[in-house]
Amino acid sequence: MSEDNDNVAKYREVVVLSIVPCIVAILVLASWALAHWEIGPYWLNAGLALLATLFGGYLRFVAGFKDIFKRRITVNVFVTVALIATIAVGEFRAAAVVVFIMAVAGGLETYTLDKTRRSIRNLLDLTPKTATIRRNTEEVVLPVDKVQIGDVVVVRPGGRIPVDGIVVGGQSCVNQAPITGESMPVEKFKGSEVFGGTLNETGRLEIKTAKVGRDTTLARIVHLVEQAQGTKAPIQNLADRFTVWFLPTVLVLAIIAFVTSRDIKVAVSVLLVACPCAFAIATPTAVTAGISNMARRGVLIKGGIFLELAKKMDVLLVDKTGTFTFGKPKVVDVVAFDGISEEEVLRLAAIAEKYSEHPLARSVMDRARECGIQVPDPDEFKIEIGMGVAARLDGKKILIGKDTFLQDKGVIITEDIDRRISSQTERGRTTILVANDLKPIGLIAIADEIRHETPRAIASLKAMGIKNITMLTGDNHKVAKAVSEEIGVDDFQAELLPEQKLQYVEKLQKQGLVVGMIGDGINDAPALALADVGIAMGAAGTDVAVETADVTLMNDDLSRVVNFMDMSRKVMLRIKLNIFFSIMYNIVGFALAGFGMLTPVLAVIFQEAGCITVVFSSTLLLWSKTGSRLKTEDRGSLSVARVVVDNVTREKTSQCA
């Protein structure tokens, strides 16, 4: 069914963008040719022009009459009045030309503003189609929709968990970042809660089913996304706001022209020269040019409404994992004890972790490779899930893991070591201790690495006038506090589930604030959908986050958000400039038409010149540069951001020195 909907939407785009304008153009040309070469009776060429008007303007007429019944004055009302007046005086081809222009403009607007998001269904693809159920002593594979509450589901390493439930057997590390946003895999053991759609990484788990189908956390997220998308209010088109007072003014001028000239065609010419074709394309042409410019820079924008809202943004909410950070555990510090070199601590840790599949073990091995350390194979190797690793090399026992694990093995943990561990924990880091022959020799701190461009991007966004930048994360309070202080955001909210992120967006919107949201994970999708402007980190982001968001950063570079914000300001300024050009053409056109110097056809040509001017004005946005100029007072905050980046770089380099 969803594929059928996709095809219908695609066909609709083709019809609106190409077929309708083409048919109208053919009918207009045929009508003109018949009249020019005097082929056939008058009613034939007039009928073709009238057919072109009715065919191409049908949706405009319908929308216009609906707005009239609702007592709303919009561009559609203006076009309807002008076309009816033009047809009433027999200027069928003039009406058809207007319709053709409006059809092309309408196609652009439809393409730009009405792109539907069709990938919410992909979210549920994270849930496996089948589940392995333990029945007595046997294991049976069933379709996931046949699983019942109370069934024990078996999930092997590397498999996705199909249900929400409680672990009743086994131990493992589970990557649940798509659901909770936690940057580190979570240890699961008997009694732990797990979520459908998360990834079982290391061990075998037996899970007693608690929720299935629509009741799972993943399914609730889908519902929240759909609900949030349905509640986002549209913003009134700038041209419509202008037309509220412009149309009555034009009608008064047309009546005055008729009274003074006693010629109905003069009044119609006034209406036609004022026909808001330029107003109608002022927004979509500027928006299309701005969107095209951003697309070349790796920023995909799904509609002009989001450019307008971005300029008005009061609060920017940003997910931590995968947005401010890379979303992968990385060694950020190596601390050696009692004169042991940092390289030796890292070498022994890598030996112990060489055969482990734990994510923290992989980060240790990655750092050893970066530092060019040769890592021999351990003679013995044993993993104690959730605690650490014991290995042996050349008769010496190497232990690496939690402090409690080392203590249980006979390693003495001094107060100084406790203080060092606490210091790392306060900075939001996961700490693993290393011991050689029951003697503690150092510790390794692991954290989710902050993207290098983050501090500067935050400073730039503040310089552009965003009043508040708040970090949202499912991580714990200490990690959130450490990251927020390092990157310079105004505030943070920690340990949030998808529903809570959504509620936080709702809370701000109820205060009358325009809210932007940047995220990359499935857990961000509801908040992205509800936010006034949802921005997804595209390259590493999940499909559902990209599709539910309004703006996508294809290269995961936060500085592109600065480009987007700058372009939003330029597009809105260009729209206002386009409307100014339209007013100038109308003023001149009113004067010429009022004195009887324009026939209805010449009036259409004159107002079309206004359209061409608007198109040219908008086209200049295609080559506009963004984010390249900053106010003098803003450079101080950016220099601070550069210092932060330089310090991080030097810290990384020193660890391998």
Are 452 and 648 contacting, i.e. CB atoms less than 8 angstroms apart? yes
CA 431, CA 427: separation in Å to the nearest integer? 11
- Packing angle, helices 277-296 and 75-88, rounded to 10: 130
Cβ partners under 8 Å of residue 218, min gap 6: 123, 124, 126, 127, 179, 195, 196, 197, 522
Which H or E run includes 33?
A: helix 20-36
Q: What is the DSSP string of 325-391?
A: EEEEEEEEEEEE-TT--HHHHHHHHHHHHTT---HHHHHHHHHHHHTT---PPPSEEEEETTTEEEE
Cβ partners under 8 Å of residue 245, min gap 6: none
Are 568 and 307 contacting, i.e. CB atoms less than 8 angstroms apart? yes
- From the list 454, 140, 436, 186, the residue with the least C-alpha distance to 318 is 454
- From the list 489, 490, 422, the residue with the least C-alpha distance to 450 is 489
- From the list 319, 314, 644, the residue with the least C-alpha distance to 480 is 319
- CA–CA distance from 400 to each of 154, 429, 432 (Å)? 30, 16, 6
- CA–CA distance from 517 to each of 180, 475, 505, 629 (Å)? 17, 17, 8, 24
Q: What amino acid is encoded at 76 in this protein?
A: N
List the helix and strand counts (H, then E) for the chain.
24, 22
Cβ partners under 8 Å of residue 139, min gap 6: 132, 133, 154
To the nearest 10°, report the CA torsion of 115, 121, 122, 124: 150
Q: Is 290 exposed, middle or buried (0-12, 13-18, 19+ CB in 10 A)?
A: buried
The one catalytic residue in 319, 475, 524, 556 is: 319
To the nearest 10°, report the CA torsion of 520, 525, 527, 530: 130
Where on the phi/psi map is residue 419: left (φ > 0), alpha (ψ -120 to 50), or beta?
Answer: alpha
Catalytic status, residue 319: yes
Q: Is 539 exposed, middle or buried (0-12, 13-18, 19+ CB in 10 A)?
A: middle
Which H or E run includes 503?
A: helix 498-510
Are 157 and 203 contacting, i.e. CB atoms less than 8 angstroms apart? yes
| Residue 27, CA atoms < 13 Å, CB-side half-sphere | 26
Catalytic residues: 319
